[in-house]
Amino acid sequence: MNPLSSVELLGDLIRIASVNPEGDPGVTDPGEATLAIALEKLLRGLGAEVWLREVLPGRPNVVARFPSDRPGKPKLLLAPHTDTVSVVGMTIPPFSGEVRDGKIWGRGASDTKGPMAAMLGALARLKDRLPTLGHEIWFAGLMGEESGQFGAKALASEEQFDFVIAGEPTDLKTVHAHKGSLWVTLTAHGKAVHASAPERGDNAIYKMSSAIERIRSEVIPALARNEHTLLGRSTLSVGTVRGGSKTNIVPDHCEATVDIRLIPGDDPQHIIALLQKAAPDLEIVHHGSAPLYTDPSNVLIQKLSSLGAMPVGAPWFCDAAVFAAQGMPSVALGPGSIAQAHTADEFISVRDLEEGVQFFTTFLESL
């Protein structure tokens, strides 16, 4: 990989498949290990001390610390994630890294190998100056962001940083606040009988439909009362409903999934209690990702802003919130647009990528 050419570097990163294995990845050998090994070699070539830290079997974080000319400096972490979403349904070759029409194409071009290439390009440009900067510079390629955020959780438990920049396609704006998520699975159980005598059974779909109506009438209005200046209101959406096995059998099982978007200050346990009240007969399983809020008066956010990266909020979530939850001021920042993330024809423009390299170079020089 050639870190001195950001376009070539991004093409190389895209050509290394690193699809998250959750769900249907669309590849026969998913996971981040191959990319982590390539990044290890690249970072060592830039003079960093590098570790591959396995988080899940065969799925490591790659963590690098650059030399510093004195101890005790504040620690700055640049942290893009190494996994991508599935390639199922893509309309372009997912791992070509082709440069065409002023764009670099392929899975991860925007989310988040483009921001990664911009960060690495800046580190390469400043290789000889990094030890003299006012911060000790770290880089981490974090596995598992697209499902579970396991890499960020592992590193946040291992190291403490004074400021974290999660690499994400933010149009070079500083996302210091974003929504979190609470993903809920509701399960209704019933009794299956022949549909010619439904009174002898217990219809799980009816239970689910009644519960969903109560959620619409009780929980959604309660969430809508919560509002954040930057992020708007908390929201709830029922995403899927699956139940029954055959038309002439009363269903004994029905499952629904619910997407709840949280704002800073929301209490997930209170929201689950609201769901339990609305659906007392249903089994409820949930997991979530925290919202983010880092005070925009933070000195590095102010510096980023002075360089043109204005502070903004976002409706999505990312690894920055994991570090912030452990007391580390964190933001998301990088070139490219979130509108291109996860798309069937994912790309980042060459211009955006090169602007990202220059931005991170200027930012690091200012430390």
Q: Residue 204: which CATH number? A: 3.30.70.360
Q: What is the mean pLDDT of residues 242-262?
A: 96
For 144-177, the pLDDT digits (tens) are 999 999 999 999 999 999 999 999 999 999 999 9
- Residue among 25, 55, 358, 304 at smallest CA distance from 165: 304
**What pLDDT score was predicted for residue 188?**
98
HSE at residue 232, side-chain half, CA atoms within 13 A, is: 7
Asked if 276 and 202 sit in the same domain, the reply is yes
**Full domain range(s) for residue 221:** 180-289
Q: How far apart are CA 14 and CA 107, in angstroms?
A: 6
Spot the catalytic one: 40, 145, 146, 319. 145
**What pLDDT score was predicted for residue 254?**
98
Is 271 contained in some domain?
A: yes
Q: How far apart are CA 76 and CA 228, in angstroms?
A: 28
Q: How far apart are CA 166 and CA 300, in angstroms?
A: 14
Q: What is the mean pLDDT of residues 292-320?
A: 97
Residue ending a domain, among 289, 314, 341, is 289
Q: Mean pLDDT over all residues of the chain? A: 96
Active site residue 83: yes
- Please count the structural domains in the chain: 2
Q: What is the mean pLDDT of residues 331-341?
A: 97
User: For residue 292, what pLDDT band results from cuts at 50, 70 and 90?
Assistant: very high
DSSP 316: S
**What pLDDT score was predicted for residue 201?**
97
Query: What are the Cα distances from residue 100, in Å, to 70, 111, 145, 313, 348?
Result: 45, 18, 28, 32, 11
Spot the catalytic one: 83, 146, 168, 171. 83
DSSP strand E in 90-207: where?
99-100, 103-105, 136-141, 163-167, 174-178, 180-189
Asked if 173 and 68 sit in the same domain, the reply is yes
DSSP 73: P
Asked if 164 and 20 sit in the same domain, the reply is yes
Structure token digits, residue 10 = 């991004």
**What pLDDT score was predicted for residue 12?**
97
For 105-143, the pLDDT digits (tens) are 999 999 999 999 999 999 999 999 999 999 999 999 999
Asked if 159 and 53 sit in the same domain, the reply is yes
Asked if 302 and 236 sit in the same domain, the reply is no
Residue ending a domain, among 289, 321, 351, is 289
For 340-363, the pLDDT digits (tens) are 999 999 999 999 999 999 999 999
Report the greatest alpha carbon distance in the chain.
81
What's the whole-model pTM score?
A: 0.91
Asked if 72 and 128 sit in the same domain, the reply is yes
Contact 174, 360 (CB under 8 A): no
Contacts of 243 (CB under 8 A, 6+ apart): 188, 204, 205, 208, 251, 253, 254, 255
Q: Residue 347: which CATH number? A: 3.40.630.10
Is 1 contained in some domain?
A: no
For 39-67, the pLDDT digits (tens) are 999 999 999 999 999 999 999 999 999 99
Asked if 253 and 321 sit in the same domain, the reply is no
User: For residue 310, what pLDDT band results from cuts at 50, 70 and 90?
Assistant: very high
**What pLDDT score was predicted for residue 226?**
84
Q: How far apart are CA 360 and CA 302, in angstroms?
A: 15
What percentage of the chain has pLDDT greater than the value 70? 99
